Homo-oligomer: A and B are copies of this chain.
Amino acid sequence: MNVTGHQRRPASIRDVATAAGVSYQTVSRVINDHPSVKAATRERVLAAIDELGFRRSATALALARGRSRAVTVLTADTTHYGYASILQGIEEAARAASHTVGIGVLESAAETAVAAVVQRAADTGGGVIVIAYDPAGVRALNAVPAGLPVVGVVETPAGPPTGDRPWVWTDDREAAYEATRYLLSLGHETVHYVAIPSGARRTGARSAGWREALREAGAPQPRALRGGWSPADGHAAGRRLAADPVVTAILCGNDDLALGVLRALHEAGRSVPGEVSVTGFDDAPHAAHLTPSLTTVRLDFTGLGRSAFALLHGMLEESAQSAPYPVAAPELVVRESSGVAPARD
């Protein structure tokens, strides 16, 4: 193999062809494993390929073939555990289908910035997967131009997906409902909720599940606290809750929020789970190793990612009508941070 790393432009199939003394089409046949090439010829071509260090250009391939075996993932933040896991699931599935994964971060809430990122994804060709749990993601999903294949990863939707813009989700509404019922079953009079920023203008799915469980049980329905995503947001919300002696059970929209809440309760001298029970969402790796370890809801993020890709893949290539990838149902994981309600005065 040619190791002289000289900057000269990479070899094309025509270079290989001349080197091997055949036509470019024959080279094309060899690299595509076409059967009708004489063994001897194939040998010569392969030798030339090796000699020249030829690699088939994915760009030219995409142009010639029509479509591009590429997926772009749009997300507000790569750092968030859930998002990162979804991304990883997508990449895994995409790799298996020999697709390429691109990424666009929607960091700022600026409308124009989101539009620009979406544009770039659209230009790249292939399909788009939007992680649309938060406002930025939802905006991005809406900004995707019609006709471009796209799949949204969303909170449990209220209705069925609109025709050309399919969704994928785990039933976090049901999960929030279950988690709330669990806390109520421990004797808590009601459950307070620290919310993640919801994507929809209306209240999010987790929030809805929580509220439904309270209503069903005839429990008081406090207002949800608008949190963010981070431990710092949880800490801020936790301080408000810690100051209220009525609060004995807190459901948090994710584990990071719960972490901050735990900290705030600690600072206020309220013991967990003795005086207050805390529950998270997601089952991030650290949840099990906090002190106290965190009761939370395990979500199958990577499965969700794989599923999103499978769906998109089916849209891109009608041949590959890949069956919907199975996503594990959310599962309540009970640990130390939740317990029976303290005796009421």
Residue from B101, B232, B290 within 8 A of A263 (CB atoms): B290
- Contact of A235 with B147 in the complex, beta carbons under 8 Å: no
Residue of B nearest to A82 (CB): B79
Bound together, the chains give a CA A68 to CA B63 distance in angstroms of 13
When distances are taken between beta carbons in the complex, the residues of chain B under 8 Å from A262 are 289, 291
- Contact of A88 with B95 in the complex, beta carbons under 8 Å: no
When distances are taken between beta carbons in the complex, the residues of chain B under 8 Å from A98 are 120
User: CB-defined interface of A47-66 with B at 8 Å, one 1/0 digit per residue?
Assistant: 00000010111111011001
- Contact of A77 with B68 in the complex, beta carbons under 8 Å: no
When distances are taken between beta carbons in the complex, the residues of chain B under 8 Å from A221 are none
User: CB-defined interface of A155-186 with B at 8 Å, one 1/0 digit per residue?
Assistant: 00000000010000000000000000000000
Further 9 A-B residue pairs, CB within 8 A, beyond A231-B289, A263-B293? A53-B147, A58-B125, A59-B125, A63-B63, A78-B87, A87-B103, A91-B104, A92-B105, A102-B102
* Chain A positions near chain B (C-beta within 8 angstroms): 3, 5-7, 9-10, 53, 55-60, 62-63, 66, 68, 77-79, 81, 84-85, 87-88, 91-92, 95, 98, 100-105, 107, 117, 120, 122-125, 145-147, 164, 230-232, 234-235, 256, 259-260, 262-263, 266, 285-286, 288-291, 293
